[in-house]
Amino acid sequence: MSSSTIRQQKNSQDSPNNDLSFIKGVVRTAGGTALGVSLLATSLVAGGLVGLAISFRNLPDVRTLRNYSPSETSYVYDIKGRLLTRLHGEANREGVTLDKISPELKRAVLAIEDSHFYLHQGINPNSIGRALWVNWKSGGVVEGASTITMQLVKNIFLTKDRTFSRKLSEAVLAVRVEQVFEKEEIMEMYLNNIYWGHNNYGAQTAAQSYFNKPASELNLPEAAMMAGLIQAPESYSPFNNYANAKQRQKMVLDRMADLGWITPEEAQVAHKTPLGVGKPTSWQASKLPYVTDTVMKELQETFSKEVITKGGMRIQTSVDYFMQQRAQETVEKGYKQLRRRGLRTKDLQIALVAVDPRTHFIKAIVGGVDYEKSQLNRATQSLRQPGSSFKPFVYYAAFASGKYGPGSVVNDSPVSYRDGSGVYSPRNYGGSFAGPMSIQAALISSRNIPAVVIGQKIGVSKVIEVCRRLGINSPMQPVISLPLGAGDMTPLEMANAYATFASNGWYSEPTIIVRITDSRGNVLRDNTPQPQLVLDPWSTASLTTVLRGVITSGTGRAANIGRPAAGKTGTTDNERNVWFVGYVPQLSTAVWIGDDANRPLGRGTTGGGHAAPIWRSFMSEALKNQPVLQFHAASKFPRPKVKEKK
């Protein structure tokens, strides 16, 4: 604060709403003569210290404070801005500008920590004299004379050693800071840096923790209690000892009254006012743990752990809090139903992941039945065979070749193929054969032999190529049994691949992060979708038409949700993995059921009978308020031509 501002303030009227009305209280308390002596002494001591500073050549340059950025907590939000969790190291901090901090808190802090802040030049000679006398009598440093400026430089630049040399360095740096920065700048840095207890650094985070409100909304009773914490945050914490906190609060209020900044009656009323104390926020568990784990995994692909936990990022996810809750509830309910139906495998698990086909944003992700018991995110980390839910990739490749369509006939009869390990003879589920049938009928009834036959005719390498275009990066080998799901992949890969079918061939990289900014609003990442057409529209629309039949009249009838939807069941050998993956134009969802140790789930366990009902339950809730949309008709697009061999 400039000297002219101080003079203007001395001539102003006292007002409880005036942020600097305490100045008149300081003047009244000190007295005119005492104040003049104090200011003169301040100037003399300051001048002496500036001269002495020549010997402190190794002290840091205080001008670096202009670019100083203390570690800040990063925040993760859902798509609507609801806070999901905080990411931070030791320091849980959110920096704010001085105008976003309650005037009551500023006054309370000044009263108890440095009532002459706007009158000294970094050090307070009266306090120094008193501290020197006490320390000389004790033979060591037992009492400080720290102003707010001295506390600031100590916290940022110096160690906490209680030595005379450290205290002298502190004083020198404080004078330097006062020469470079305005009072308001110093106050802002101080209030954003000091420790308030329970890993809370800075007024904003402390206010959120102690009173569940921003620092700008703190009233006098709350501000007095928070100001009282600075000297010994854990000792005076209302979380640890409410009675101690109230006693300390009274000291702050009494000090404010002594200075004339509030009346004794206001102090008494404030002390008697009950406080709605919150709870520690620094180490609270995430409200949606599978979401935040997925966010962390994606962040770590670009940012270091230090940047994530100290960079003050604001991370907007693509997940809606309530849809995610419905997904978790669906999985928990589905698990109980499976147990009641006799699935007794020891480590039974369910994963569910939903992707928006229009953006390829992840809308819900559940990696297991109980996060507290197991933090493994099976939706992104577990590689499992997809069984017959892989067949749509085979038939899409056939349609895109120009040689086949839904009505093309394939023979469902015994076949054998020789590979490197001997003779391979695929079998249908149940062991029967249906003879000549259309591809549409073969896929609707999930016949195995037609899928293998078509795979051999078009080449499994072509099928792998389609999978890569759909974003499936898990290892796949061009083996004869690949069309039956011989490769391993994650539920997220399956949901995202089917999302490209739902968008009629448009693909984007899947992500759970929509946007990242720093604490000042600068954009660090913008994941606005950049879709690319990776599939042939006619072939994709034709496949969707066939997959609709799976739900209306095939193996996926238990997935019928009363609106146009397409999907496919999947059941692997020995019932180790069962799936249902399906979509509507605005949402693609994969449900996987299995055992963590890959044990068989039990005879008769199928994707249609066990996974499809869970899919139906989730989709019914997720689409409750969504309009019914129609898929593209294949007739709107030209059929691909057969490519001639060169």
Provide the annotated active-site residues.
113, 388
The Cα-based distances of 27 to 261, 365, 546 in angstroms read: 11, 62, 86
Alpha helices in 260-383 (DSSP H): 264-272, 289-299, 305-310, 321-340, 378-381
Please state, as a whole number, how many other Cβ atoms lie within 10 Å of the Cβ of residue 643.
9
**Radius of gyration, alpha carbons of the chain:** 34
Could you give the 3-state DSSP secondary structure of residue 117? coil
Tokens of 233: 């945050």
Residue 646 CA: distances (Å) to CA of 69, 338, 643 = 63, 54, 9
User: Tokens representing 56?
Assistant: 């402190």
Strands 417-419 and 422-424, bridge-based pairing: antiparallel
- Torsion 79-81-83-86 (CA) sign: positive
Residues 453, 413 contacting (CB under 8 angstroms)? no
Structure tokens at 34: 């005492």
Letter string b/e over residues 360-388, b meaning 16 or more CB atoms within 10 A of that residue's CB: bbbbbbbbbbebeeeebbbbbebebbbbb
Alpha carbons 221 and 213: distance in angstroms, whole number: 14
For the chain, give the number of residues: 646
Tell me 231's DSSP state. Answer: S
Question: Is residue 144 packed enough to be buried (19+ CB in 10 Å), middle (13-18) or exposed (0-12)?
Answer: middle
Rounded (10°) angle between helices 164-180 and 32-52: 100
Residues 6+ apart with CB under 8 A from 559: 551, 565, 567, 580, 582, 608, 612, 613, 615, 616, 619
User: In whole angstroms, how far apart are CA 218 and each of 50, 291, 479?
Assistant: 39, 32, 67
Cβ contacts of 218 within 8 Å, gap of 6 or more: 102, 104, 105, 207, 211, 226
- CA angle (529, 535, 539) in 5-degree steps: 135
Which distant-in-sequence residues (6+ apart) come within 8 Å of 571 by Cβ? 387, 388, 429, 577, 578, 579, 605, 606, 607, 608
> What element of type H or E holds 45?
helix 32-52
Q: 575: exposed, middle or buried (C-beta count within 10 Å: 0-12, 13-18, 19+)? A: buried
- Write down the residue that tokens 């062991």 correspond to: 431
| Helix locations, 194-320, DSSP H | 203-211, 220-229, 242-258, 264-272, 289-299, 305-310
Q: Do residues 88 and 74 touch, judged by C-beta distance below 8 A?
A: yes
Compute the distance between CA of residue 554 and CA of residue 617 in angstroms, rounded to an integer.
19
Strand extents, DSSP E, 491-563: 506-507, 513-517, 523-526, 532-533
d(CA 636, CA 417): 39
